[in-house]
Amino acid sequence: MSDENFDDAPTPWSTLSGVAAARVRPLGRAIEARLAVPGSKSLSNRALILAAMAEGTTNLSGLLLSDDTYWCADALRRLGAEIAVNGMAATVRGIGRRRPRPDGPIHVGSSGTLARFLPPFLAAGEAGQWRVTASRQMTRRPVAPLFEALRQGGAEIAFLGDPGCFPAVFAGGSFAGGRLSISGRVSSQFISGMLLGAAQSRLGVELDVEGGIVQSAFVRITIDAMRHFGAEIEADTGLEHFTVRPVGYRARDMVVDADASTATYFAALAAATGGRVTLTNLTPDTLQPDYGFMALLERLGCSVTRVGGGTTVTGADALRGGFTADMRPLSDAVPTLAAIAPFADAPITIAGVEHIRHHECDRIDAMCRSLAALGVPVEEHRDGLTIAPARPRFAVLDTFEDHRIAMSLSVLGAAADGVELLNPACVSKTCPTFFDLIGAVGVETTMIAG
């Protein structure tokens, strides 16, 4: 993809190019389905970056092909890594701390993981200078805490627009490491990015985290992936202090888990329709926090069977509400729970997730607007929302350029009276095949050209 087409352009791994809207029709029955879930976006980008920054050649399998992973692979190639993709597999020849291409433009698209993970590697590796741009959406998302922590360790960063935001220029060889501190209140990705890059810094890093960590499970996923590739990292039990030694990474083959966040939409279909869905490759031993959505479904009255090879969700005759769910540990699943909450027999309150106002969109506001347009009584709170029982009616809805809003509202529409979604192509960020997958399990969709 040429540099001049960077800004918000579809990638070769996008779907639904030229589609203005998707009409999701009512399922009208209890779903009965078995399916394999695409690979985890979070793990795919961690695996790609670590394999590229390792010494040697790594084989990856189960890889997700989406907009976020495309921009990740493209950025790493622009640094000099060799990445050959074959279906859901990839062979990556790493560059370690070397920078075979020590200058040039890099684009991170709307990928939050790439935008937070790549800068520490750029600053910690060999000398070079890279101008990093992002989509319009990503330039509005917070990155300043990460940049401030990098600067504590000597990183040289020049902003080309608003301070603390993309676009920015990063100087290689400028991040030495040392004793640093960072806030964990806004995004776990800031901590993950610092830890990932720390293994290539000259001095290593002693990192103190202030204020706790939003979605701390993702930091544990980062630590696990780093150790898989040979990093030497220690963390206290509360994830308040980390020690990372400057030993770099070594190539090692890796299998990417199924995406637990994507799985929530299909599990929710079973819950909302009183049906049954078996997710054949979603194993209960995954470290992904959104697997906790299965316990929420049990709270709603569903039955969940967890076996080594997969997970089966069986819906109840009527979903049970009347509780408050602290969704801070699995906040990516907030739109999914909000989408099925109207089918419960009593109100459900979602709390603890003020930080999701700063994701691809303000997800609290977006779900409140969407539910209201569907005729669902909803009350917005600073850190969440309360949803009352209702029969959602048909409506034409914005997706707010947010993949999780689009997929959640698709579930709601299929379980109720249908829905028409504007800009459905945003699902390409993490699940380009989403509408094919729901079609395969019986949900009819009609694509409307722009």
pLDDT digit string (tens) for 215-229? 899 999 999 999 999
Task: Summarize pLDDT for 149-189 with one digit per residue, the tens.
Answer: 999 999 999 999 999 999 999 999 999 999 999 999 889 99
Instruction: List, for residues 282-319, the tens digit of each pLDDT value.
Output: 999 999 999 999 999 999 999 999 988 899 999 999 99
pLDDT in tens, 59-73: 999 999 999 999 999
> For residue 168, which phi and psi values (nearest 5 degrees)?
-155, 160
Alpha carbon distance 415, 419 (integer Å): 10
- Could you give the strand order of the β-sheet that contains 419-422, starting from the edge strand earlier in sequence? 396-398, 419-422, 19-24, 445-449
Does pTM surpass 0.95? no
> Which of 40, 47, 45, 81 has the alpha carbon at shortest distance from 229?
47
Share of the chain above pLDDT 90, in %: 93
Q: Classify 4 in phi/psi space as left (phi over 0), alpha (psi -120 to 50) or beta.
A: alpha
> Does 138 have pLDDT greater than 60?
yes
d(CA 221, CA 46): 9
How is residue 69 written in tokens?
């992973």
Phi/psi of residue 384, nearest 5 degrees: 170, -150
Distances (CA, A) of 388 to 157, 347, 382, 412: 48, 4, 18, 14
- For residue 6, what pLDDT is reported? 64
The alpha carbons of the chain give a radius of gyration, in whole angstroms, of 21
CATH topology of domain 41-255: UDP-n-acetylglucosamine1-carboxyvinyl-transferase; Chain (3.65.10)
Mean pLDDT for the stretch of residues 119-140? 95
Q: Which tokens belong to 58? A: 């790594």
Q: Per-residue pLDDT tens for 315-333? A: 999 999 999 999 999 999 9
Confidence band, pLDDT 50/70/90 cuts, at residue 4: very low
3 falls in which pLDDT band (50, 70, 90)? very low
Contact 270, 296 (CB under 8 A): no
pLDDT at 7: 60
The residues, any chain, with a CB within 8 Å of residue 237's CB and separated by 6 or more, are: none
**Does pLDDT of 414 surpass 60?**
yes
pLDDT score of 2: 44
Structure tokens at 306: 């967890």
Confidence at residue 450, expressed as pLDDT on a 0 to 100 scale: 82
CA distance 181 to 56: 32
When the pLDDT of each residue in the chain is averaged and rounded to a whole number, the result is 95
Distances (CA, A) of 287 to 43, 115, 173: 10, 22, 33
pLDDT for res 215: 86
Residues catalogued as catalytic: 332
CA separation, residue 23 to residues 70, 390, 448, 450 (Å): 27, 21, 8, 13
- Residue 369 burial by CB count (10 A; 0-12/13-18/19+): exposed, middle or buried? middle
Every domain of the chain and the residues it spans: 3-38+258-449, 41-255
**Fold type of domain 3-38+258-449:** UDP-n-acetylglucosamine1-carboxyvinyl-transferase; Chain (3.65.10)
Long-range contacts at 307-312 (CB < 8 A, ≥ 24 apart): 308/283, 308/284, 309/280, 309/281, 309/283, 310/278, 310/279, 310/280, 310/281, 310/282, 310/283, 311/263, 311/267, 311/278, 311/279, 311/282, 311/283, 311/284, 312/276, 312/277, 312/278, 312/279
CA angle 359, 360, 365 (to 5 degrees): 75
Check for a shared fold between 3-38+258-449 and 41-255: yes
Lowest-confidence pick of 31-40, 47-56, 134-143, 358-367: 134-143
Task: Classify residue 400 as left (phi > 0), alpha (psi -120 to 50) or beta.
Answer: left
Kindly tell me if the per-residue pLDDT of 140 is higher than 90. no
The Cα 69–Cα 89 span in angstroms is 12
